[in-house]
Structure 1
Amino acid sequence: MTVRIQVLGAMRAWHDDQPVELGPPGRRAVLGLLVLAGGQVVTLSALADAIWGDTHPASAVNVLQTHVKHLRRLLEPGRPPHSRSELLPYAGEGYRLCLPTDQVDLLRFRRLVRFATEREAVAPLVEALALWQGPPFADLPLLAQHPRTTVVLREHRTALTRYAGAMLAAGAADQAIVALEEAIAADPLDEAGQALLVRAYRAAGRRAQGFAAFHSARRRLVDELGVDPGPELTAAYTELLDDSPPGLDAAPTTTAVVHRAVPAELPADVPGFTGRAGELDELDRLSDHAGSSSTVVVLTISGTAGVGKTALATRWAYRARDRFPDGQLYVDLRGYDPEQPVAPADALARFLRSLGLPGEQVPTDVGERAARYRSMLDGRRVLVLLDNAASVDQVRPLLPGSSAGSVVLVTSRDSLPGLVVRHGARRLGLDVLAPDDALALLRLLLGDAVVSAAPEAAGALVTHCAGLPLALRIAAELVHRRAPTALATVADELADHRRRLDLLSDAADSHSDIGAVFSWSYRDLPPDAARAFRLLGTHPGPDFDVFAVAALSGVDETTARASLDLLGRSHLAQRRGQHRYGMHDLLRAYARELAVRDGVADLPRRLLDLYLHTAATAIDVLYPAERHRRPQVPAPPGPLPTLPDAAAAIAWLDAERANLVATAVHAAAHRQPWYTVPLTVILLRYLESGGHYADAVTLHDHALRASQDDGNRRDEAQLRTNLGVVQLQQSRYTEAVAELTRAIELAHEVGDTVVEARALGNLGHVYQWQGRYPEAAARLTEAVELCRRNGDQASEARGLGNLGQVRLRQQRYVDAARDFRESIAVCRQIGDVIGEAYALVSLGHVDSGLGRHQQAGDHHQRALAIFRSTTESAGEAYALDGLALVDLSRGEHQRAVDRLWAALALFQRIGERAGEACVSNSLGEAAAATGRFAEARMRHMSALRLAEEIGSRYEQTRARAGLARVGLTRPDGRPGPVEVPAASPPQAGRPAVR
């Protein structure tokens, strides 16, 4: 008879089609616990803890043994007396349930979901969800709240969400909505699910329900957690607003992508993955306690270079990712790269941004970053894949804290014993492929016919490649390139050349002698591709494109593309996305060694010239009015990327940002300030406008050291001015004042009045945010006069705009309007559309202060149109905030709130904390206007805390006035309602002189 067990819904059991009466709750609970264990042993003590908690009866063991005895009789009625139970055997101080997957609905559900994930198929998901008859153990309260039952519920919600996503992608929005409504009903605080539901309503044309779903989720988050919706849910709402009627203009139509709150960063799975079934099962076993442990499970995969650690880790991660509904983080630590290993601080910054923390809010101290990282992962189930780690010190800061259910998977050539001793890591040592698996991989790569035609040569090739997957792939590609019949010839050649080159050999480890395989593959390359391969070993960045290859090699684009394609086909370079490639660390080390042998000891200048010129071109496209302030870089010989518009310029900068930082750091280390300093100056506007503050600080730190080593005080003054701007945009006003004051001193010493004027203007802008209005006006007036003497109209226009903001905050509306109009006139003369738009926003606030709401709305609308045609997300957000305040004055409250949520999404994306404080205050005023005083108090309190943290005196005053208006405090400190004057309108505070 076939035994079947159901736990998804009411607990049931059958012999074939005949129901089995399982008996009292205690007996059913024992069986349910064994089902939840998925075939693993459950000890008697664990069973007792689950059933009785801390108050075990003295007879607990006897009772449990009796339950098991009855279950055996019920489920194995034909078993001879005293014979060993095959279905419920005793093992390892406990029992386990041994049933095929298809005979237990929970196990079948999990297998189908895993299969659907691996194959990216929908049908298995449909079948899995059909098994769901209700919450697990619906009729057994004893297990309904068990931690492992909670995990099953989460898996069901994940499956529903994945199915809904597939339906939405297929255009079946109504089916997606049904699944999502079920998932949301089970977990109303799931922001990712709520975001998908809003998108599904939008796709189905049910916009009203989409708005209702968002506002309901927002109220629940505010009421129950005291937090605002995160970036993902806010982004879905912004997309919904994009469908608004043309007259509404409630949300930006060019909103950039918001950081995902649930990261999915696993690298591409390895095609043709073969073997390792035992290792995959062992990883399943080692990670088994992740669902019930209160601590993070740490797993390590160690083995020699090229043995397939990354491939195994990636394959297992895809197989297990359903267990981690809160995301999967990945970083290649490049631990064995002698020049560019990833520092823990940089990896933490990357993870924090992936988890939704705006770049500006990433702490500078590595300890603070690690603490924030642990806090953001607390209570979440995530998989963290740390690839190519060199040491425990590189890994330890990246370990989550008490994130129960999470797994950290580390790959390394080292066994990392420190992780075992201090963190209880579980180790898997990875050996080379077994001969049969290696031969199976070769069959997959070459085809059965080729291997079967020359079995001895195939066996020899497997032996020569030492069972290393990377070497086998390279060898197979060589056979393909020559001819299918070349297998025997290639095997003979490899045997002959195998000991000629020991570049990467380790005398203590015969498995690492794959330098010969590399050399053999390299020797088969034509001269152009071979030279490109050698020179790519000098590239310090993580990846490269055809233009980088052309610059390194000094060849045309066609030749470079042919070489790059050949390196990719030969597995001497790996594709990292569309039109981009990278190199395995072994290959990079080998290529670098070949370059040194060839007399190339450093990065060719041709590549630095390419990056410097193209970066300058991109910034000129984005910010043409400031071209005169940046270094002018001549075009180098050779092919160059085409950047016809702002979108192309941004795309190139985003793709190459890591390379630009890496080459600048490399150049600074090799005493090449001619590259590091101008590149840093050129990239400032892109980095600070995009919120890439960590990269900006890194570049400026190295450039400053380079300029100081070179004794160039003029460069130092300019760099300190720029660094002051970066600190200002992060609302670090004390640090900004220090940098700008020193910059003024240096510029004055060397007689550089252009830099001195910029530093003065930015210092005045900092004073304005600190509420030091007389000092701000004095510095800005001095800066404007100096700009006029220098003929620097761009800085003059920005200085006038900032001076007008000071006067606006002092409610000197006539003087402020004059400054803004002068700024607009200069901006139009020089074509500075971004400066013009900021001045228009400020002029709109003047009109609001004077009660001229129609004129104010016109100014904000014009500014919004300009910002949407550029990449200035902060300006777009400030214009939306200004329009929202105009809406409030007209009584259009919902429209105002819609604009404010769109503005908040933009500010959160770029990390503009001053803007967040501004919008929080505006949201408080909107809530108060409609009688939602509790929400208003929360918004103003949030704004007050943030304003106090960053030192924004104006937003502090505005928040306190808002709190007084909604009755939280009186000016004398006593509680109770009080009449206070309306706060003056906020101003767009961002356009520093720079």
Structure 2
Amino acid sequence: MLSVLLLRARRPVPVAELTDWMWPVGKAPDDPAGALVTYRKRIVHALERMDAPPRIRYRDGSYQLDVDREEIDFHEFGRRVDTARAAARDGDHASAVRELASAIDDLWTGTPVPDLHGDRAANWRQMVVSESLVPAHSALFTSLGALGEHGQVLRRLADLPVELRQSLTMVKHRLAAQHGAHRFHEAHSYYLDQRKRLRDDGSLDEADELTRFQNELRARHHEHRVTVSARVPPPRAAEVPHLLPHDVTDFTGRETLLQHLDRITVDATGRPAATIAVLAGDPGVGKTALAVHWAHLAASRYQCGRLYHDLNGFGEGPVAHESDVVNDFLTALGVTAESVSPLSARKARLRGLLSGQRALVVLDNVRDHDQIRHLLDCLSNCTVLVTSRSRLPDLVRRGASTVPVQPLTYTEGKAWLAKWVGQRASAEAAAASDLVALCGGNALILKIVIERTRSRPGVALAEFADELRDEHTMLGLGGRGPESSVRAALGWSYHAMSPAEQRLFRLLGTHPGPDVSIDLAASLAAQDRKDVQRKLEALVDFHMLSQPESLTRYRLHDLLRRYARELAAASDERQAAVRRLLDFYLTSSQNADRVTAPNRVPVAIAPPSVGVVPVEFADPDSAMRWVARERANINAVMGYASDNGLHEFVMKMPSMVGEIFQRLGHRDDAIAGLRMSIQSGRLAGDVYEEACAWGNLGFHQLAAREFEAARDSLVKARAMFEHIDDPIGIAVTDLKVGRLALEQGDAGRAVEIQLSVLRTFRQLRSTGEEAVTLYRLAQSYRRMGNLTEATTYARAALRLAEQLGADHTKGCAFTELAEIHLERGELTEAKACCERALRIHENSDSNQMGTIHLTLAHVHVNMGNTADAELCARRALTYYRSSHDISGQAKAQRVLAELLHGQARHEEAAELWALALSSFEAIGNQRAATDIRERLTEIPAAPSIPADRTESIQHPSAWYRSV
């Protein structure tokens, strides 16, 4: 729906037309108009995250999206193409190329509006490809040809889908580019193939048109005419060597890298430069294919010759030596190596032969700098392209340019698969997507998968995807020959590393999370941090690790992770390494818990294993940042420990990080961890740990307003604590039961429970829990309307929290005092308390930040500061969303709607009220839902523009109390 409205921006689109676009005939829902209403609500909710969200209007049975057409890719595409055509008419082909390339590469990505399945959408797609995309490509190729960039034309043509590439327009562009690049034999062969194809297809007129075009090209380049004879092959100059392997016929993507190689291999005049470029990347990522393909495209620039040698730095068999390369190159240049002796003389002869015009030299599969260091002296006048699994930093110090070869993008992988499996890719789109994703951008695996699917055309792609999900199957793909299996390809890199580097790589295979910090790696290896960091850098140099985001974080590609895990499983160190892994996270998380909640009763854990150095934290902010950064790893480690019966860890870990997860807005993660903890406590027969987990689960369910579930969890927790006679556990559970009563509207019952709990904590001298209870009592008394008692308990909570250094409780007490001052009409005091609470909770508790900003919004409303009130309400909504607090979101939306309605922004107000209504109904707050329905009925009668927007909010104090 959004796609159609964007295509028809600022124009009304009737419901019937939307239906034709979105659903095939006979496939529309029974009530398409009702479905569109639901979709509009979802779209509005999503767009609301934007700073200035566009508006979707509904009027007279039509929908209209108010957005500038220039902001929409399709319309911007047309504008850039028009600009390029104007530039080309003026002879400015460079500007035309820039505009056209940016339009095609940046704006036209994939199939247009692929989620629209109606007949109207299918017809539109076919129309825009033929009337917009093909002419844009054609204009780009024409301007590139005018600039002499024939290689770029050929590269871009190779990336087009088959159906576009075989159109007569594109066939003619390819012929023109081949002639322009002086590849006449190739052009003539291509012409014959295409003419035969057209005649076989019955397109005789197009075949004749192609013949006329080919004759024009040959006449234009008459000095290079080719006479084709079945008996006499074209002559080849013996003194110009061409040692490049065959080009990769199915090469796909890598356009940016190919263009980058074009730029760094020429000098300021555009001529080939004497330089070194290093293509470095993971095993199997496609470095050799890229190097060979680019070399073929650039071959016409190097009239002195194209030389190639595989140095076998990573592979079965002997590593190639300098003398092997020198001898082979001399032979290719017409000199018998045996006639020149010794090696120094042969090197001098090679240097002399290559000292004239530039030659292109590809040194493939280089192990390290030492393997080619002296050889490069002979190639000082050449363009040298090196491929290696190592980054070769010594070459960089010699002035070489490093070109990192990343895994294929999903789009490139999908295009490659589609090119070879044809209609199966679209017929089994989901399975094809799974195959590409499972290959992880590794060209070697994808190539093997393509070969397997093509050799078994009757097997569903989904079966191949299922096969790839098995680690051992993936690593064994490709057979048992040299470099033929994935496992063998990875093994050459692994065995090239030192034993210490191999050990660290194996140990990293025990970590189930997405990335690794230096601290974790040092504890895994039980070695000095700096020493481990050096080894990690070595693994990066070998492309066995990557650093996609940070210099202190390291990541294993999925394929390498599988390989490392396989190696770790066979290692004698595996069990001890897993123990150190768990100890690192458990102890570091305990340190974070101690800093963020210093007065909570600490969870007892055993000392960490020898060699484990947990992370220490100077303040709550640093602890919160660490947990936020490690969240995905913590979740993965908990899941691994649960699956493998490591109950001690699973029982303890959620208690360390659960509340921090809650403050960061990741309640679902906290709940998932606690459910694992409950299961482990039950299996291990540990009643205390199971009771703690049930109590903490009830706390999170209460925050999610799942009241019945929370009650069940708390009842189970209390029964278990009673069974083991744990008074602290009983009191902590009762404190949560009191909060449950308050949230369900029984403030009197809440006060009764909390006063009893307060006495217990004071008897047990549990001061941290006492401070929290005082704050909860202040909250309950305020909701009862007893502001005097509320103030007394809030100030008592604040004093005790300050004595204990309990910042979180202190911030909550300030927030509660702000609410009390607000209800008393003491706006200056309320604002000051909010500001103090903000300084405490900043970056540490999303839910509390939402509450503070919502309170501030009320303060500004009462002060008459409408703009500030709106800003605070929007901030509150953002924080509540990040903490997944539906109730908080509804309250913020309701306040914001009132503010907008008071400014005569009725449509925006109605949308926010509708969202709040949905949320209040979802959480069972029928009173608020009824109030909003009444407000919605007032919108049609609202005045268009009030004389004074601030005064239009009637009786703000009364409005605040009703909210």
Alignment TM-score, normalising by the size of structure 1: 0.51
CA contact (8 A) 2:524 2:612 kept: no
1:541: which partner in 2? 513
2:700 counterpart letter in structure 1: V
- Give the CA deviation at 1:703: 1.6
| Aligned position for 2:924 | 951
- Which residue is 1:744 aligned to? 718
Cα distance in 2, alignment partners of residues 802 and 152 from structure 1: 68
2:526 is matched with 554
Deviation at 1:483? Answer: 4.7
Matching of residue 659 in structure 1 with residue 605 in structure 2: no
SS in 2 for 1:821: helix
Offset at 1:772? Answer: 3.2
Q: Unaligned regions of 5+ residues in structure 1, if any?
A: 1-98, 129-141, 156-272, 289-308, 320-430, 466-472, 492-500, 970-976, 988-994
Matched, 1:847 2:821: yes
Structure 1 position 572, deviation (Å): 1.8
Q: Give 1:565 shift.
A: 0.9
Q: AA paired with 2:958?
A: A
Question: 1:339 — aligned with what?
Answer: none
Structure 1 residue aligned with 2:727 = 753
1:846-902 C-alpha deviation (Å, 9 max, x unpaired): 23323333333333333233333x512322332222222222223222222222222
Distance in structure 1 (CA, Å) of the matches to 2:97 and 2:308: 37
Deviations 1:718-753 (A, max 9, x none): 111211222223232232222222212222222222
User: Does 1:575 pair with 2:547?
Assistant: yes
Give the Cα separation in 2 of the matches to 1:117 and 1:509: 46
SS at match of 1:715: helix
**AA matched with 1:699:** G
User: Could you say which residue in structure 2 is the equivalent of 1:329?
Assistant: none
How far 1:153 sits from its partner (Å)? 14
1:112 corresponding residue in structure 2: 98
Residue 982 (structure 1) aligned with residue 958 (structure 2): yes
Alpha-carbon distance in structure 1 between the residues aligned to 2:685 and 2:820 = 47
For residue 958 of structure 2, give the secondary structure of its aligned residue in structure 1: coil
Q: What amino acid does structure 2 have at the position aligned with 1:806?
A: S
Decide which of 438, 458, 480 is 2:369's aligned counterpart. Answer: 480
Structure 1 segment 586-601 matched on structure 2, within 5 A: 586-601=559-574
Q: Which residue of 1 aligns with 2:502?
A: 530
Matching residue's letter, 1:770: Q
Distance 2:614 2:163 in 1: 49
Q: For residues 563 and 542 of structure 1, what CA distance do their matches in structure 2 show?
A: 19
For 1:982, the aligned partner's letter is: A
Q: 2:673 aligns with which of 685, 699, 717?
A: 699
Letter in 2 for 1:915: G
Cα distance, 1:937 vs. partner?
A: 6.1
- State the AA in 2 paired with 1:112: R
C-alpha contact 2:84 2:100 (8 A) present in aligned 1: no
How big is each residue's C-alpha offset from its partner over 1:161-208, in whole Å with a ceiling of 9 and x where there is no partner? xxxxxxxxxxxxxxxxxxxxxxxxxxxxxxxxxxxxxxxxxxxxxxxx
CA offsets per residue over residues 384-418 of structure 1, 9 Å max, x none?
xxxxxxxxxxxxxxxxxxxxxxxxxxxxxxxxxxx
- Residue 753 of structure 2 is aligned to residue 779 of structure 1: yes
* Conserved? CA contact 2:662–2:700, under 8 Å: yes
Aligned to 2:790: 816
Distance 2:719 2:311 in 1: 73
Q: Distance in 2 between matches of 1:479 and 1:443?
A: 25
Contact 1:676/1:703, CA 8 A, preserved across alignment: yes
Alpha-carbon spacing, 1:549–1:842, altered in 2? closer, same or farther (3 Å):
closer
Q: What amino acid sits opposite 2:586 in the alignment?
A: L
Instruction: Quote the Cα distance in structure 2 between the aligned partners of 1:314 and 1:724.
Output: 52
Alignment of 1:609-688 (within 5 A): 609-626=583-600, 628-631=601-604, 634=607, 637-641=611-615, 643-688=617-662
Q: Which amino acid aligns with 1:281?
A: L
Q: Note the alpha carbon deviations across 1:438-482, whole angstroms, 9 max, x for none.
A: 6468999xxx99xx99945448979989xxxxxxx9983623365
Question: Equivalent of 1:912, from 878, 885, 892?
Answer: 885
Q: Secondary structure at the match of 1:574?
A: coil
Contact 2:758/2:773, CA 8 A, preserved across alignment:
yes
The one-letter code of the counterpart of 2:884 is G
Verify the 8 A CA contact 1:797 1:823 in the aligned structure 2. yes
SS in 2 for 1:476: strand
* Equivalent position of 2:803 in the other structure: 829
Q: Matches of 2:721 and 2:737 in 1, distance apart?
A: 14
* Partners of 1:436 and 1:843 in 2: CA distance: 68
Q: Is the 8 A contact 1:769 1:953 kept in 2?
A: no
| Pair 857,277 (structure 1): closer, same or farther in 2 beyond 3 Å | closer
Q: Could you say what secondary structure the match of 1:624 adopts?
A: coil
The two structures, once aligned, show a CA RMSD in angstroms of 5.3
Deviations 1:542-566 (A, max 9, x none): 2112222222222111221111111
Pair 1:114–1:458, CA change in 2 (3 A): farther
Tell me, which stretches of 5 or more residues in structure 2 are unaligned?
A: 1-80, 109-119, 134-151, 168-247, 259-283, 319-361, 377-386, 389-471, 943-952
Query: Does the aligned pair in 2 maintain the 1:687–1:696 contact within 8 Å?
Result: yes
Distance in 2, Cα, partners of 1:281 & 1:938: 44
One of 791, 799, 819 as aligned partner of 2:765: 791
Residue type of the alignment partner of 1:950: I
**Does the CA-based 8 Å contact 1:809-1:984 persist in structure 2?**
no
Q: Say if 2:764 is the partner of 1:764.
A: no
Aligned amino acid, residue 878 of structure 1 = T
Deviations 1:312-358 (A, max 9, x none): 99858999xxxxxxxxxxxxxxxxxxxxxxxxxxxxxxxxxxxxxxx
Q: Who is 1:901 aligned against?
A: 874
Rounded to whole Å, the distance in 1 between the matches of 2:758 and 2:841 is 25
CA separation of 1:116/1:701 partners in 2, compared to 1, >3 Å: closer, same or farther?
Answer: same
- Give 1:276 deviation, angstroms: 9.2
1:681 CA drift (Å): 0.6
Structure 1 pair 960–982 and aligned structure 2 pair: CA distance change class (3 A): farther
| Aligned equivalents of 1:612, 1:766: Cα separation in 2 | 30
2:774 corresponds in structure 1 to 800
Contact preservation (8 Å) 2:738, 2:753: yes
1:519 equivalent to 2:491? Answer yes
Distance 1:834 1:505 in 2: 53
CA drift of 1:787 comes to 2.5
CA distance in 2, matches of 1:829, 1:153: 75
C-alpha change, 1:726 and 1:442, in structure 2 (3 Å) is farther
Equivalent residue, structure 1, for 2:663: 689
* Cα 1:634–1:529 shift into 2, 3 Å: same
1:13-46 per-position Cα deviation (integer Å, ceiling 9, x unaligned): xxxxxxxxxxxxxxxxxxxxxxxxxxxxxxxxxx
1:711 partnered with 2:685: yes
Q: Please say if residues 917 and 932 of structure 2, whose CA atoms lie closer than 8 Å, have aligned partners that are also in contact.
A: yes
Q: What's the CA shift for 1:661?
A: 1.2
Structure-2 separation of matches of 1:154 and 1:455: 42
How far apart are 1:714 and its partner, in Å? 0.9
Normalised by the length of structure 2, the TM-score is: 0.52
Partner in structure 1 of residue 430 of structure 2: none
Structure 1 residue 920: deviation in Å?
2.4
Matched with 1:874 is 847
> Residues 83 and 96 of structure 2 are in contact (CA less than 8 Å); yes or no, is this contact kept in structure 1?
no
The one-letter amino acid of 1:886's match is V
Partner of 2:834: 860
Q: Give the conservation status (yes or no) of the 8 Å contact 1:552–1:606.
A: yes
| 2:516 alignment partner, SS class | coil
